[in-house]
Protein backbone atom coordinates (compact mmCIF):
# COMPACT_ATOMS: atom_id res chain seq x y z
CA UNK A 1 0.00 0.00 0.00
CA UNK A 2 1.44 3.35 -1.04
CA UNK A 3 1.70 6.36 1.25
CA UNK A 4 -1.03 8.06 -0.79
CA UNK A 5 -3.54 5.22 -0.12
CA UNK A 6 -2.69 4.82 3.55
CA UNK A 7 -5.96 4.63 5.59
CA UNK A 8 -6.81 7.42 7.98
CA UNK A 9 -6.10 6.86 11.64
CA UNK A 10 -8.98 6.37 14.04
CA UNK A 11 -8.49 9.83 15.58
CA UNK A 12 -8.38 11.59 12.23
CA UNK A 13 -11.49 9.76 11.02
CA UNK A 14 -13.45 10.73 14.15
CA UNK A 15 -12.50 14.38 13.73
CA UNK A 16 -13.58 14.32 10.08
CA UNK A 17 -16.96 12.83 11.00
CA UNK A 18 -17.58 15.50 13.63
CA UNK A 19 -16.79 18.29 11.17
CA UNK A 20 -19.09 16.74 8.54
CA UNK A 21 -22.00 16.39 10.98
CA UNK A 22 -21.65 19.99 12.18
CA UNK A 23 -21.48 21.25 8.60
CA UNK A 24 -24.75 19.50 7.74
CA UNK A 25 -26.72 21.04 10.58
CA UNK A 26 -29.00 23.98 9.85
CA UNK A 27 -27.59 27.27 11.05
CA UNK A 28 -28.79 28.25 14.49
CA UNK A 29 -30.96 31.38 14.50
CA UNK A 30 -30.60 33.50 17.61
CA UNK A 31 -33.90 35.32 18.18
CA UNK A 32 -34.02 38.93 19.22
CA UNK A 33 -34.12 39.63 22.92
CA UNK A 34 -37.37 38.63 24.61
CA UNK A 35 -37.04 41.51 27.03
CA UNK A 36 -40.06 43.69 27.57
CA UNK A 37 -40.44 46.86 25.57
CA UNK A 38 -38.12 49.64 26.63
CA UNK A 39 -39.33 52.89 28.03
CA UNK A 40 -38.54 54.61 24.72
CA UNK A 41 -40.68 52.13 22.79
CA UNK A 42 -43.74 52.71 24.93
CA UNK A 43 -43.40 56.47 25.42
CA UNK A 44 -46.14 57.21 22.90
CA UNK A 45 -48.02 60.34 23.99
CA UNK A 46 -51.50 59.78 25.39
CA UNK A 47 -53.93 62.23 23.74
CA UNK A 48 -54.80 64.28 26.82
CA UNK A 49 -52.36 63.56 29.63
CA UNK A 50 -49.80 66.22 28.67
CA UNK A 51 -46.09 66.37 28.12
CA UNK A 52 -44.98 64.43 31.15
CA UNK A 53 -45.77 61.03 29.62
CA UNK A 54 -43.20 61.60 26.86
CA UNK A 55 -40.24 62.36 29.12
CA UNK A 56 -37.92 59.73 30.54
CA UNK A 57 -39.95 57.51 32.85
CA UNK A 58 -38.60 56.98 36.35
CA UNK A 59 -37.55 53.64 37.78
CA UNK A 60 -40.96 53.21 39.42
CA UNK A 61 -42.52 53.03 35.97
CA UNK A 62 -40.13 50.26 34.95
CA UNK A 63 -41.65 47.91 37.50
CA UNK A 64 -45.16 48.66 36.29
CA UNK A 65 -44.93 45.74 33.86
CA UNK A 66 -45.66 43.50 36.86
CA UNK A 67 -48.42 45.78 38.15
CA UNK A 68 -52.03 46.37 37.24
CA UNK A 69 -52.05 49.06 34.53
CA UNK A 70 -54.80 51.28 33.21
CA UNK A 71 -55.53 53.66 30.36
CA UNK A 72 -54.81 57.11 31.83
CA UNK A 73 -57.92 58.55 30.17
CA UNK A 74 -59.76 56.85 33.04
CA UNK A 75 -57.72 58.85 35.58
CA UNK A 76 -60.32 61.58 36.21
CA UNK A 77 -62.35 62.66 39.22
CA UNK A 78 -65.29 64.97 38.56
CA UNK A 79 -63.74 65.64 35.17
CA UNK A 80 -60.44 66.77 36.70
CA UNK A 81 -57.34 65.18 35.15
CA UNK A 82 -53.62 65.36 35.81
CA UNK A 83 -51.73 68.16 34.06
CA UNK A 84 -54.78 70.39 33.73
CA UNK A 85 -54.29 74.11 34.42
CA UNK A 86 -55.99 76.20 37.11
CA UNK A 87 -58.20 77.74 34.43
CA UNK A 88 -59.33 74.30 33.24
CA UNK A 89 -60.12 73.24 36.81
CA UNK A 90 -62.18 76.39 37.43
CA UNK A 91 -64.11 75.77 34.24
CA UNK A 92 -65.02 72.27 35.39
CA UNK A 93 -65.73 72.68 39.11
CA UNK A 94 -65.73 76.41 39.76
CA UNK A 95 -63.82 78.44 42.33
CA UNK A 96 -62.43 76.52 45.32
CA UNK A 97 -63.76 76.93 48.84
CA UNK A 98 -60.22 77.53 50.04
CA UNK A 99 -56.66 77.74 48.72
CA UNK A 100 -53.45 76.85 50.51
CA UNK A 101 -50.46 79.18 50.28
CA UNK A 102 -47.74 78.19 47.85
CA UNK A 103 -44.91 76.26 49.48
CA UNK A 104 -41.53 75.88 47.80
CA UNK A 105 -40.27 72.28 47.90
CA UNK A 106 -36.52 72.21 47.39
CA UNK A 107 -36.32 68.60 46.19
CA UNK A 108 -38.91 69.37 43.49
CA UNK A 109 -37.40 72.72 42.62
CA UNK A 110 -40.80 74.40 42.55
CA UNK A 111 -43.81 75.39 44.62
CA UNK A 112 -46.85 73.28 45.47
CA UNK A 113 -50.32 74.41 46.56
CA UNK A 114 -53.82 73.01 46.75
CA UNK A 115 -57.46 73.96 46.18
CA UNK A 116 -60.18 72.49 48.39
CA UNK A 117 -63.78 71.79 47.42
CA UNK A 118 -66.48 69.71 49.13
CA UNK A 119 -64.99 66.20 49.35
CA UNK A 120 -62.31 67.11 46.78
CA UNK A 121 -58.76 68.47 47.05
CA UNK A 122 -56.66 69.32 44.01
CA UNK A 123 -52.89 69.67 44.33
CA UNK A 124 -50.83 71.73 41.92
CA UNK A 125 -47.17 71.62 40.95
CA UNK A 126 -45.55 73.85 38.31
CA UNK A 127 -48.96 75.35 37.59
CA UNK A 128 -50.58 72.03 36.66
CA UNK A 129 -52.70 69.47 38.50
CA UNK A 130 -50.37 67.02 40.22
CA UNK A 131 -52.74 65.21 42.63
CA UNK A 132 -56.51 64.77 42.91
CA UNK A 133 -57.98 63.48 46.17
CA UNK A 134 -61.63 62.51 46.74
CA UNK A 135 -62.88 61.79 50.28
CA UNK A 136 -66.66 61.96 49.93
CA UNK A 137 -69.60 60.79 47.86
CA UNK A 138 -69.98 64.09 45.97
CA UNK A 139 -67.08 63.17 43.69
CA UNK A 140 -66.54 60.12 41.52
CA UNK A 141 -64.17 58.70 38.97
CA UNK A 142 -64.94 58.76 35.26
CA UNK A 143 -66.15 55.15 35.70
CA UNK A 144 -68.59 56.12 38.44
CA UNK A 145 -66.63 54.71 41.40
CA UNK A 146 -67.31 56.68 44.59
CA UNK A 147 -66.32 56.78 48.23
CA UNK A 148 -68.46 54.17 49.99
CA UNK A 149 -68.35 51.63 47.15
CA UNK A 150 -67.38 48.07 48.07
CA UNK A 151 -64.16 46.29 47.17
CA UNK A 152 -66.05 43.77 44.97
CA UNK A 153 -67.61 46.67 43.05
CA UNK A 154 -64.20 48.28 42.50
CA UNK A 155 -62.83 44.92 41.38
CA UNK A 156 -65.71 44.54 38.91
CA UNK A 157 -64.99 47.98 37.41
CA UNK A 158 -61.19 48.03 37.38
CA UNK A 159 -60.14 44.43 37.76
CA UNK A 160 -57.42 43.14 40.11
CA UNK A 161 -54.76 45.51 41.35
CA UNK A 162 -51.48 44.68 43.07
CA UNK A 163 -51.82 41.36 44.93
CA UNK A 164 -50.60 42.88 48.19
CA UNK A 165 -52.97 45.87 48.03
CA UNK A 166 -56.23 44.24 49.10
CA UNK A 167 -58.09 44.59 51.40
CA UNK A 168 -56.85 48.04 52.47
CA UNK A 169 -55.71 49.46 49.14
CA UNK A 170 -56.04 49.04 45.39
CA UNK A 171 -53.51 50.74 43.16
CA UNK A 172 -53.51 51.02 39.37
CA UNK A 173 -50.57 52.46 37.43
CA UNK A 174 -51.17 54.37 34.23
CA UNK A 175 -49.82 53.17 30.90
CA UNK A 176 -47.07 55.38 29.46
CA UNK A 177 -47.44 57.74 32.42
CA UNK A 178 -45.55 57.94 35.70
CA UNK A 179 -48.86 58.21 37.54
CA UNK A 180 -51.36 56.07 39.42
CA UNK A 181 -54.82 55.85 40.93
CA UNK A 182 -55.02 54.62 44.51
CA UNK A 183 -58.21 53.60 46.29
CA UNK A 184 -57.98 53.23 50.06
CA UNK A 185 -60.49 51.04 51.90
CA UNK A 186 -61.91 51.04 55.41
CA UNK A 187 -64.14 48.17 56.57
CA UNK A 188 -64.31 46.95 52.98
CA UNK A 189 -65.55 50.28 51.57
CA UNK A 190 -63.75 52.95 49.57
CA UNK A 191 -62.65 55.72 51.96
CA UNK A 192 -60.43 57.77 49.64
CA UNK A 193 -59.58 57.95 45.92
CA UNK A 194 -56.36 59.59 44.76
CA UNK A 195 -54.93 60.18 41.30
CA UNK A 196 -51.34 61.34 41.40
CA UNK A 197 -48.02 61.80 39.65
CA UNK A 198 -45.00 59.98 41.05
CA UNK A 199 -42.50 62.77 41.67
CA UNK A 200 -39.85 60.49 43.21
* Residue extents of the structural domains in the chain: 40-197
- Predicted local confidence at residue 44, as pLDDT: 32
Q: Where are the alpha helices (DSSP H) in 25-64?
A: 59-62
The rounded Cα 171 to chain-centroid distance in angstroms is 10
- What would the pLDDT profile of 165-191 be if each residue is shown by its tens digit? 667 899 999 998 999 999 999 999 999
Q: Is the whole model's pTM more than 0.85, yes or no?
A: no
Using alpha carbons, list the distances in angstroms from residue 120 to 105, 131, 141, 162.
23, 11, 12, 25
Which position has the higher pLDDT, 15 or 75? 75
- Predicted local confidence at residue 51, as pLDDT: 35
The per-residue pLDDT of the chain, averaged, comes to 75
User: What CATH architecture does domain 40-197 belong to?
Assistant: 3-Layer(aba) Sandwich (3.40)
Peptide bond into 110 cis (omega under 30): no
Which residues is 192 bridged to in the sheet? 184
69-70 vs 169-174, strand pairing mode:
parallel
What share of the chain in percent tops pLDDT 90?
A: 54
Which position has the higher pLDDT, 172 or 163? 172
Amino acid sequence: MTAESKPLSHGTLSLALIVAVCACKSPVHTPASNARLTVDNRATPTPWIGARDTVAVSESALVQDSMAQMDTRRFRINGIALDQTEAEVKQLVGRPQSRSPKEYIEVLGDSVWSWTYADLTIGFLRGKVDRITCVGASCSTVDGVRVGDSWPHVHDIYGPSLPNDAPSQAQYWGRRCDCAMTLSFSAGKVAKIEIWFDES
